[in-house]
Structure 1
Amino acid sequence: MDVRRRGTVRPIRHVGDPVLHRPCAPVTRYDEELDELVEDMFASMYAAEGVGLAANQIGVSLRVFVYDCPDENDEFHKGVVVNPVLVMPAVGERRIDTHDEGCLSVPGQRAVLGRPDRATAHGFDPTGNPVTVKGTGLLARCLQHETDHLEGRLYIDRLPGKRRKQLLEDYRRAASSPAAR
């Protein structure tokens, strides 16, 4: 990836936008257009002060996400995964990490959500070379969260029904308040 270019900040799509609620298509071309998308994704993620971003969050229904976040040891990791396949620890080897989670596509809202504390994403970089990202801590959560996006799921879809309903009501109320306009 050419880091000299900055990319263009694109608007983040919010809950209810159809692009967020359907599975994304696999990337089939590793070209300049993909490079530009990745640059735009990083620019958009940083502008929104996020730690991860899936392509559909900026309206592009392709299986690619970017991340820049710490692991359990506070060591930062930055990268891109194209066409990710998420591998989780076996059920008997999983430890569930219960933490607050939020999403740029559901701004202003957070909820406690349990996820495995380790995850591995296999995929490709923007040039088509294989990559494997092993995550712990927030990085593990990010790999799971962004892969969920590419499957057409938001973190709120994993919440119990009553909690999800309350969170969406709070989101709608905040979005319609005069201060949000």
Structure 2
Amino acid sequence: MITMDDIVREGNPILRKVAKPVELPLTDEDKKTLVDMLEFIKNSQDPEVAEKYGLRPGVGLAAPQIGISKRLFAIHATDENGNLYSMGIANPKVVSHSVETNELENGEGCLSVDRDVPGLVPRRARLTITGVDHEGNDVRMRLRGYIAIVFQHELDHLDGIMFYDRIEGLEDPFKKPLPGFAL
């Protein structure tokens, strides 16, 4: 079981590396990593389990955050319409995105960051991603709003980007444009 002791904290160089794609079909090891990360996220949202094991609540976790430089992440979050997105994803790729932006009103946090970093994090309002889920199925999802932000946060981890790198006003906004996803 993954615990907070397994979470890599900011400052560790693995969080700044671009993670490597995984081989498909998924190996048993990569499937297990995805399932374990998904279990951690679910456990972190269960008040009893979280308290018992000292887990901070989260909605997503990327493999680099547990010291594995692979293009894998897990999400367990609900969108504004009550739809649950609960899956591990391998080799996620953005295939299209909106020009419009969106951000969380109260900013973002991260399991790898043990401090409050205030500020708005601009994200694409809508995006379409592809990848392979933890059961080996090809997935294609059109995301918008909150859930799109969650996916982009985890995608950034796979590219060595921390959420605070995108906060407006921390540095010259013309130096760090919104993510330029390969289409």
TM class by shorter-chain length?
0.7 to 0.9
> 2:13 — aligned with what?
18
The alpha carbon displacement at 1:59 in A equals 0.6
Letter of the structure 1 residue corresponding to residue 114 of structure 2: P
Long gaps (5+) in structure 2: 45-54, 172-183
> 2:108 — aligned with what?
101
Question: For residues 18 and 136 of structure 1, what CA distance do their matches in structure 2 show?
Answer: 31
The alpha carbon displacement at 1:160 in A equals 3.9
Q: Aligned to 2:70, what secondary structure does the other structure show? A: coil
CA shift in 2, pair 1:120/1:48, >3 Å: farther
CA shift in 2, pair 1:117/1:64, >3 Å: same
The alpha carbon displacement at 1:151 in A equals 0.5
Letter of the structure 1 residue corresponding to residue 35 of structure 2: E
Long gaps (5+) in structure 1: 1-6, 164-181
The alpha carbon displacement at 1:161 in A equals 5.9
In the TM superposition, what whole-angstrom CA distance separates every residue of 1:75-134 from its partner, at most 9, and x where no partner exists? 22111210010134343xx2x223221111113324321212222220112344311122
Give the count of matched residue pairs: 155
Q: Percent identity?
A: 35
> 2:90 — aligned with what?
82
> 2:67 — aligned with what?
59
CA RMSD between the two structures: 2.2
Deviates more, 1:10-19 or 1:102-111: 102-111
Question: For residues 150 and 84 of structure 2, what CA distance do their matches in structure 1 show?
Answer: 12
> 1:27 — aligned with what?
22
Of Structure 1 and Structure 2, the greater helix share is in 1
Of Structure 1 and Structure 2, the greater strand share is in 1
Aligned residues of 1:71 and 1:139 also touching (Cα < 8 A): yes
Aligned residues of 1:84 and 1:121 also touching (Cα < 8 A): yes
CA shift in 2, pair 1:161/1:13, >3 Å: farther
2:39 to 36, 40, 43: 43
Question: For residues 71 and 161 of structure 1, what CA distance do their matches in structure 2 show?
Answer: 28
Q: Aligned to 1:42, what secondary structure does the other structure show? A: helix
Deviates more, 1:16-25 or 1:105-114: 105-114
Question: For residues 26 and 57 of structure 1, what CA distance do their matches in structure 2 show?
Answer: 16
TM-score, normalized by length of structure 1?
0.76
- The answer as to 2:156 corresponding to 1:148 is yes
Aligned residues of 1:54 and 1:150 also touching (Cα < 8 A): yes
> 1:173 — aligned with what?
none
In the TM superposition, what whole-angstrom CA distance separates every residue of 1:17-71 from its partner, at most 9, and x where no partner exists? 1110010011115122112211221233334310011000011100011101121
- Deviation beyond 4 Å, 4+ runs, structure 1: none
